[in-house]
Structure 1
Amino acid sequence: MMDWENYRNELMGRIGDLGKLSPDTVGGYMMASKAGSKTNNLDEKTRQLISMAVAVTTRCDGCITVHAEAAVKAGANEAEIAEALGVAVAMNAGAALVYSARALDAVKSVTK
């Protein structure tokens, strides 16, 4: 298994390097990332649970490690995280189902 803590620390260092080279890129990301917390319609734990699910669906290890730490710090427990990840699994399966229908439609278009 991956050493997530070491990976997260190394990643943050590299993002810091990118921020020095292109501050507007990292600053723009940070602004977008913090936008939701300003409205407070969702609490931090809920935002982090959503972030974990999205991190899985987008297959982003960096997002997984950052939001895993943030979710736990926001009070999420393993059962809550597992439920959020279950939503990610269902969404990926749902997307595969939808695209399977599209694929069959494409096959039908060439077999007419």
Structure 2
Amino acid sequence: MFNNWSELLPTIKSAFGALGKSNPKMVKAYMALDEAAAENNVLDAKTRELISIAVAITTRCDGCIGVHTDAAIKAGATREEIAATLATAVSLNAGAAYIYSLRALEAHDALKK
């Protein structure tokens, strides 16, 4: 097992609270971002959480994976929906690696001159 997700989630929430006590304005602003993203209700909670999981995968954030997977389950996401979300994230990440590989070749060509 990569992480003990049952222990990680409460640890993250506790640490998040501790940081909030030392910098409440920053946490308030951070929470406002989430509220603003959900404000227009164009996407339902499950869809927003599935997108959040995909982003968490591509940014390699274990805390985000745990928090948003938990929220997706609570919003009704199935294992199959989460797996499809992960396939999309893998596909996108491979595409990003391809594009950044082109940048490396471009850098080589520019620097070789």
Q: TM-score, normalised by structure 2?
A: 0.94
Q: What stretches of structure 1 move > 3 A for 4+ residues in a row?
A: none
> Aligned residue pairs: how many?
112
What CA distance in whole angstroms lies between the structure 2 residues aligned with 1:80 and 1:32?
Answer: 25
* Amino acid of the structure 2 residue aligned with 1:95: A
What CA distance in whole angstroms lies between the structure 2 residues aligned with 1:52 and 1:107?
Answer: 34
What CA distance in whole angstroms lies between the structure 2 residues aligned with 1:50 and 1:76?
Answer: 12
What CA distance in whole angstroms lies between the structure 2 residues aligned with 1:70 and 1:97?
Answer: 31
Which residue pairs with 1:92 in the alignment? 93
Residues 26-84 of structure 1: CA distance to partner in whole angstroms, max 9, x if unpaired? 11110101212211000000000000000000111110000010001101101111111
Q: CA RMSD in A?
A: 1.0
User: 1:109, CA displacement in angstroms?
Assistant: 2.3
* Amino acid of the structure 2 residue aligned with 1:58: T
Which residue pairs with 2:73 in the alignment? 72
Which residue pairs with 1:6 in the alignment? 7
Which residue pairs with 1:83 in the alignment? 84
> Percent identical across equivalent pairs?
51
Unaligned runs of at least 5 residues, structure 1? none
Indicate the SS of the match to 2:39: helix
* Amino acid of the structure 1 residue aligned with 2:65: I
